[in-house]
Amino acid sequence: MLHTPWRHLLGMSAGLVGVLTVLVLAFLWPAVTSEPHDLPVAVAGPAAAVAPVAQGLDERAPGAFEVLPAADRGAAVDLVETREAYGALVLGEQPEILLASGGSPLVAQQLTALAPALQAQLGVPVTVTELAPLLEGDPRGAILGAVTFPLVIGGMIGGIAISVTVVGVWRRVTAVTAYSVLGGLAVAAVLQGWFGALAGSSWVNAGVIGLAILAIGGVIVGVVSVVGRPGIAIGPVLFLLIANPIASAAQPWQMLPEPWGAIGQWMPPGAAAALLRDESYFPQADTTQLWVALASWALLGLLLATLGHFRDTGAASRAALDEASAGRALVPA
């Protein structure tokens, strides 16, 4: 009776342990290394009052906040609504803390906790005002915080399936585009129409989700078209192990060690999560960079697919045609 050699068995076990270790590191590293630092918070009021409050913030949470001066309450509100700041402190006769839980529940909790200390420092009551409350369908912000993982898995599944089953560049491009469009509509219908976890235009939300799926699935199809089936590994490595953990969907991207937080906003999961949050809570925010990031990845995938076609090393072309030829040869004339 034949048996698997012990050396092969031990080598396989060691390799699987290595894969498991990488997975644990990839998914838990952000949680271990994340800490509040340089979170932009607006402070409005007289210059003589702003300086002591800013100093007090730094003493209570060293390095956690970056103070953005604002001329008055209106300017502070504008900074929050455009996502230039995660919240604001308004000083004067009626001190106020402006929250934006839709932007980051974590930062909103931290700012709320400052109210007693600020009240003691100023000697007058401090009002807490919510500018962007969480939606009823997602009262803890958990759904938007976890949305990147299913988008990454969905994009990978579509990209891999199309790469290994569809023959012909234009058929592969059409398939991944159609899958992305339909996937965007379906997922947006679930998140917004069923769960009530998104707000704003349902068509825009569907477009964000569809473009994210295309950015992930299209790159997989494109890479496999250029290098062949070994290129399938690009999905798990690039998007699952690297892009998803640094997407910062559940926390401010500034909390990740530099420069990973900023890099994550240029990758499909992070850009998609930020766009969905802006569409739901901050319609006045400038989202140009996020749209450019998603569109660039999607275009890269389509360009690679086209290049692979001309090199004739497409994902399924050779294998599928060989199988089809063999099948025809077995059929009696």
Ordered by where they begin, the domains of the chain are 39-130 (3.40.190), 142-329 (no CATH)
Rounded to 10 deg, the angle between the 148-165 and 268-281 helix axes is 130
Size (the chain), residues: 333
Compute the Cα dihedral for 251, 252, 255, 261 and give only its sign: positive
**Structure tokens given for 187:** 């997922």
Helices assigned H by DSSP within 98-247: 105-113, 115-122, 142-146, 148-165, 169-188, 202-227, 234
Is 332 a residue whose pLDDT tops 60? no
Give the Cα separation of 170 and 35 in Å (integer).
46
Is 330 a residue whose pLDDT tops 60? no
CB 255 within 8 A of CB 36: yes
- Which stretches of the chain are assigned E, i.e. beta strand? 39-44, 65-70, 88-90, 96-99, 127-130
pTM score = 0.87
Residues 151-187 pLDDT 10s: 999 999 999 999 999 888 889 999 999 999 999 999 9
- Which range (7-11, 31-35, 246-250) has the least confidence? 31-35
> Residue 118's pLDDT band (boundaries 50, 70, 90)?
confident
Give the Cα separation of 131 and 100 in Å (integer).
5
Q: What are phi and psi of 278, to 5 degrees?
A: -65, -40
48-114-277 Cα angle (round to 5):
105
Q: Virtual CA dihedral for 54, 101, 239, 302, nearest 10 degrees?
A: -110
The Cα-based distances of 302 to 38, 118, 168 in angstroms read 37, 54, 13
